[in-house]
């Protein structure tokens, strides 16, 4: 989560710029502020289980990040926390299940489908790839790398489509030709998780 905070801080201007093109320009600000608050909360009192950390991510994002993304990511991390319960360690199957739970939470809350030009376009293929990788016996790092690769491709696919959910949908046809900022931040988060799980190279 600390690495994620750094990634989002490094990409703050880029995410703001993407959101300026089809939204209100605050997505980088929203995400980096939320994860900076998370780093502070972790320093104060770090939970001792993966589920506890995921729950802290959720409550911090829900309380510190406004707009659409705060509650959506908050719900995603909360559902992931519920999926991993109080287990001390995550294995590949559990990571895939946590990602599926996160996607279900985002969809339950935001009602977006594949191709609506939202974070779902990154997260949905990521979940499918994670489940396939776990089924093939990949380890946690392998599952997260598969998810990150699929999320990157899914985020890129948002350029070609018209936004049907969120602020960008107000633009109609004019939303075509731009990358969705939430799909990009989802891809960045999954890449970071994959890099951390893969360890130093
Ligand atoms: P806001 O749109 O309120 O300014 P952000 O800029 O932080 O919030 O986040 C925008 C991102 O939220 C979009 O790029 C999109 O990926 C995501 N988003 C918006 N509405 C939905 C939705 N209904 N379902 C899934 N994701 C959504
Ligand atoms: Mg915005």
What does the pLDDT look like over 74-92, one tens digit per residue? 999 999 999 999 898 999 9
Give the integer Cα–Cα distance in Å for 201 and 19. 33
pLDDT tier at 69 (50, 70, 90 boundaries)?
very high
Q: What's the pLDDT band for 60 if we cut at 50, 70, 90? A: very high
Listed in sequence order, the residues at least 6 apart from 5 whose beta carbon sits closer than 8 Å to its beta carbon are 32, 35, 36, 38, 39
> Which residue's alpha carbon is nearest to atom 24 within ligand 1?
110
Q: What is the pLDDT of residues 36-48, one digit of tens each?
A: 999 999 999 999 9
- Label residue 155 by pLDDT band (50, 70, 90): very high
Predicted TM-score of the model (pTM) = 0.97
**94-117, pLDDT tens digit by residue?**
999 999 999 999 999 999 999 999
Closest CA to 20 of 167, 176, 187: 167
Nearest alpha carbon, ligand 1 atom 27: 118
- Residues at Cβ < 5 Å from ligand 2 ion: 19, 23-24, 26-27
Q: Span 11-18, mean pLDDT?
A: 98
End-to-end CA distance of the chain: 19
Instruction: Please list every protein residue whose CB sits less than 6 Å from any atom of ligand 1.
Output: 19, 23-24, 26-27, 30, 67-69, 72, 106, 110-112, 118-120, 165-167, 180-183
CA pair distance 102, 130, nearest whole angstrom: 13
Q: Which ligand is nearest to the CA of 118?
A: 1
Say yes or no to pLDDT of 66 above 90.
no
């Amino acid at each position: 989560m600390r690495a994620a905070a750094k990634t989002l801080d490094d990409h703050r201007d880029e995410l703001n710029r993407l959101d300026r093109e089809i939204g209100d320009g605050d997505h980088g600000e929203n995400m980096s502020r939320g994860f900076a608050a998370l780093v502070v909360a972790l320093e104060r009192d770090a939970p001792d289980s993966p589920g506890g950390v995921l729950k802290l991510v959720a409550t911090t994002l829900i309380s510190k990040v406004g707009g659409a993304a705060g509650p959506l990511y908050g719900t995603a991390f909360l559902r992931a926390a519920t999926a991993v319960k109080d287990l001390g360690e995550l294995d590949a199957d559990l990571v895939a299940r946590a990602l599926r739970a996160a996607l279900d939470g985002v969809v339950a809350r935001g009602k977006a489908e594949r191709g609506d030009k939202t974070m779902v376009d990154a997260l949905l293929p990521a979940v499918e790839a994670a489940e396939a990788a776990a089924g093939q016996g990949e380890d946690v790092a392998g599952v997260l790398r598969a998810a990150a690769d699929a999320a990157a491709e899914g985020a890129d696919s948002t350029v070609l489509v018209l936004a049907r959910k969120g602020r960008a949908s107000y633009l109609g046809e004019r939303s075509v030709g731009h990358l969705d900022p939430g799909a990009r931040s989802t891809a960045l988060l999954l890449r970071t998780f994959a890099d951390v799980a893969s360890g130093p190279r």
